[in-house]
Structure 1
Amino acid sequence: MATTDAEVERVRELVAAIPPGRVATYGDIAAAAGLSTPRTVGWIMRTDSADLPWHRVLRANGTPAPHLAHRQLAQLAAEGCPLNGDRVDLSRARVHWDPSLGRFAES
């Protein structure tokens, strides 16, 4: 099934809403957008994220994509995001989608 323009825009809205120094996973974004797989978020981010805080979206284990790792971790560190070596401390940095609020909430 093809990704719709509305799904692309929803993912873009969600990524734009992640506050500085905080992160979400591809799966978090997919769940909040009502998508069936985090891979769709990855595809959208790869094709349409130049004007978004793309560096705030990570893998489920808190690591960045290998080809972006140095740049992504540097940008997150500059925002004060808690890091543990080559990964983000998700227990401290992750935001969670709160459906009752219709936005990300800090945990």
Structure 2
Amino acid sequence: MTGSAPAPHRLAQRVAEVVAAIPPGRVLSYKDVAELAECRSPRVIGTLMARNPTGAQLPWWRVVTVQGTLADHLQTEARERYREEGTPLLEDDRHLVRVDMARALWTPETPGA
């Protein structure tokens, strides 16, 4: 097919589907997304999300480290989004945002269960 964009890689599509399904106010870790998307490496998830080959508008702030953090340069925008969505937060002594993983971690329902 001349002139059409190449189809997104299957893994990128699976990652986009998992991330898009995370409800407002809830989060998954990169590790969780990797497991749900059947990927061996949480680092690959971060790379795919940063490059976003699917072109989908993904709620990137809903994917955090297992400690509930994001990179420092994402803190300000993420904090605003977390507060809009009511995501449970913890703040450290440097006022960096950390998601309260015990309260905000999303557990997807198993299809057919």
For the aligned pair, the TM-score class normalised by the smaller chain equals 0.7 to 0.9
1:101 Cα offset (Å): 2.3
1:45 counterpart = 2:24: no
- Identity fraction in percent: 42
1:61 Cα offset (Å): 0.3
Deviation per CA, 1:78-107, whole angstroms, max 9, x where unpaired?
A: 100010112010110011245x327xxxxx
* TM-score normalized by the length of structure 1: 0.84
1:73 Cα offset (Å): 1.8
Aligned twin of 1:73: 79
Gap regions ≥5 residues in structure 2: 1-7, 92-96
Alignment map for 1:1-107 (pairs within 5 Å): 5-48=9-52, 51-85=57-91, 86-98=97-109, 100-101=110-111
1:74 Cα offset (Å): 1.5
Separation of aligned partners in 1, 2:76 and 2:105: 20
Q: How many residues align?
A: 98
Separation of aligned partners in 1, 2:63 and 2:105: 10
Structure number with bigger Rg? 2
The CA RMSD measured in Å over matched residues stands at 1.7
